[in-house]
Amino acid sequence: MVKFLKEIKDYIIIIVVVILIRTFLVTPAIVDGDSMNETLLDGNLVLINKLTYRINDINRFDIVVLDNDTDNDRIIKRVIGLPNERIEYKDNKLYINDKEVKFTTYDLEIGIEYIMECTVEEQGATVVNAIMFSEIIRKLPDAEIHIEINENNLLVIECEGSLYKLATMNPEEFPELPKIDIENSIEMEQNSLKDMVRKTIFAVSTEENRPIFTGCLFEIRNNKLNVVAVDGFRLAWKSKFLQTAVNDFSAVIPGRTLNEINKILNDSFDTIKIGVSKNQALFEMENCKIVTRLLDGEFLNYASVIPETWETRIRVDKGSIQNCFERVSLISASSIEKEKKYPVKVNIEIGKVTISCTNQTGDAKEEIFVETEGKNLEAGFNPKYFLDALRAIDDPEVFIDFGSSISPCIIRPTEENGDYIYMVLPIRMKE
C-alpha cells in the first residue's frame, strides 16, 4: 500500500495543483454562440483569470464570463457600461453617457437636477449665472443651440446669428445636492400632484413672521394624501386617495419649492415619487429631481377650524359669479387711499345674490340669480380671496356656504366627493 501511494504521489500532487489552479486562478470556458464575433468565435476555448478582479476593478471593454443560473451555463460578454452610466442603443448606434447634459441648481434650501437629452461632443462641467443663462436660452430662436467652454473659460452660446459669452466659476466649488435617507414615500401621477398644488398654493402665507404657513402641509392619513395651505385669512384643502398602501406621515413643503415643482410637472399620467426624511424632501421624476428642506414647526389643526354646518347656502354657476366678482373688484382695487382696503359686500336674499362695493372712486353693483337655502345674509369679503378659489375650481357649479356675517365662508364644488374645500374669513363691514 505504501509502495502504491509512493507511485501515485506525483499524480495526486498534480491533481491537487490543478484543482487549486481552477478554483483560485484560472478555469476554462467554451464560447457558445456568435455574439462575440469577430473577437471570439463559437467553440473557442478561453481561460478565465479568477485572480485579476480580486485585485483590480472591471474596466470598459474587458471580456468577462458570467454564470447563467437559469441555463446552468456560462455567458461570455464584453463590458460596455460601468456603474452609474447610461447606456442607449438607438438607430443602430450605441451611446454611453453622450446623449445628455445635467443642469443642477442649489441655494442650500432647494436644489434641482434636470437631465436633458442632447449631443455631447466633449464632456465637462462649469458654473454659470442661472438667471442670465435661462433668460438667454428662453429668448433664443427655436433652432439648434451650440454651447461650449472656450479657452478663456467663458461659456459660449451660439444659435443662428446669436452669440453670447458668459463668465463661469469653478464647478468644484459648487455644493452637491444632499443625499436624503428616505423614511416615508409615495408615488402618484404628475397631473394629480399638479392639480393639488394648483388648488392650494395660492393660500400659502407670504408673511415670514409665521414661517410654518409659508408652505403646504403634505399629510398622509388613512391612505389619503391631504394638501393644505393657510395664511390666517383663508384655507385651501385638497385630498386624494392613494392607490397603494403607505404609512401615515406629514411634512410641510415650502411654497417656493412647490411653485418650482409645478413649473416642471407634466399634465400627464407619468409618475412622481415623493420621499421625506426628518428635515428634507425629495421629488423624483424620470429626468428630474428636486431636493428641498422641510419647514419646522407645528401646522394648524385644519380639520378643527372647518365648519361642519351652515345657515345659508347658495348654488351658483361658477363662471357667472366669478365674472361678477372680477368686475366689482375693479372698483374695490381703485381706491384713492391705496393703503385702505375696501371689501366687497355680498348680500343674499331668496333666489338672488347682490355683490357690491363703494369707495371714493365710485360704486359697483352686480346681481345674479341663484339657488338659495336658509337665511338671508350680508357679509363682506376680500374679492381676491374669493376669486382665487373660483379660478381654481374646475366644476361648472359651486356651493357657497355661510354661517353668519362673521363666520368663515366655505366654497366647494357641487360634486359631493369632498376632495376640495376652500375657506375664507369675512371682513367686518362698517355701519
Which residues participate in catalysis according to the annotation? 35, 77
Output the CA torsion 251→257→262→265 (10° steps). Answer: -80
80 three-state secondary structure: coil
Q: Which three cell numbers stand for residue 410?
A: 366655505
Q: Quick one: which of 421, 342, 423, 335 has its CA closest to 382? A: 342
The residue type of 107 is D
Contact assessment for residue 384 and residue 424, using Cβ atoms and an 8 Å cutoff: no
263 three-state secondary structure: helix
Q: How many residues does the chain have?
A: 431
Q: Which three cell numbers stand for residue 94?
A: 450605441
* 305-to-249, 298, 395, 422 alpha-carbon distances in Å: 21, 15, 25, 12
What's the burial of 355, exposed, middle or buried (CB within 10 Å: 0-12/13-18/19+)? buried
Contact assessment for residue 261 and residue 284, using Cβ atoms and an 8 Å cutoff: no
Contact assessment for residue 186 and residue 225, using Cβ atoms and an 8 Å cutoff: yes
Q: Which three cell numbers stand for residue 34?
A: 456568435
